[in-house]
Structure 1
């Protein structure tokens, strides 16, 4: 019995060592771009959704000199700036520029918009951690 327990422990430690060695072995191939519990303004992200998760991935191309409508996201999402530069503005005036290669951890349930003030299209790939039937974005209605 003790032999079986020791064998399992040694096997478990071997797996743990193998996984950490694997990451070290490929350290020149992989790069962590961003990992954060905060959005782009520095505010803490809300607790994760409680129903079954669904991942959605969208590609956006925003023409030059174009502003998106004011909107909010009901779920956590992050955008990778593939090309050009975008300015994201939170309702109330906080804004930040993001350039090619940056990641934008979006605001959740807060009104904001993005705008391309440049001369070439902005390309974004956005990853949404959502649930079935939850909209990816909600437009603010004109009041």
Structure 2
């Protein structure tokens, strides 16, 4: 079961990876979105061991000036900026900006917050790898 979970995860996260034409038919355009073993603050990516794994995918819209508030994740979280520019403040690690078309592997067990400092909505596509009732985020 864990092996199937990892396979599904790999397909979701890396479905944008460049592949050889023989793997798919047609005229698909495939772009690599992420290819890393480290998250946004340099932590090694680790997959949790859950008895009942669960993948949650969300589209999150930040109106101008909106923030997530300070929070952390105890599960792997992968985000893609569909629209706008997201500013992420990471406790003790500084601030980073992610523009439209950027992807990020979010920090693990480290407080951070996302902020829309722009004048248009920021829209994210987010994949959470959880299970066993684990919260998607823990507020500070």
TM range (shorter): 0.7 to 0.9
Counterpart in 2 of 1:50? 49
Equivalences, count: 121
In structure 1, the partner of 2:137 is 137
Q: CA deviation at 1:29?
A: 2.1
CA shift, 1:43, in A, is 2.4
Aligned equivalent of 1:61: 61
**Counterpart Cα distance in 2 of 1:101 and 1:31:** 11
> Hey, what does 2:41 align to over in structure 1?
41
Provide the residue aligned with 1:121 in structure 2. Answer: 121
Normalised by the length of structure 1, the TM-score is: 0.76
Q: 1:117 to 1:25 in 2, by over 3 A?
A: same
Larger Rg: 1
Structure 2 counterpart of 1:99: 99
How far the C-alpha of 1:25 sits from its partner, in A, is 6.7
More helix by share: 1
Against the structure 1 CA distance between its residues 26 and 53, is the aligned structure 2 distance closer, same or farther, given a 3 Å change threshold?
Answer: farther
Q: How far does residue 109 in structure 1 lie from its aligned partner after superposition?
A: 0.8
Deviation at 1:53, TM superposition (A): 2.2
SS of residue paired to 1:66: coil
In structure 1, distance between residues paired with 2:76 and 2:66: 24
Classify 1:101/1:91 alpha carbon distance in 2 versus 1 (closer, same or farther; 3 Å).
Answer: same
C-alpha separation in 2, matches of 1:34 and 1:74: 20
The 1-side partners of 2:26 and 2:44 are apart by 31
Give 5+ residue unaligned stretches, structure 1. Answer: 1-18
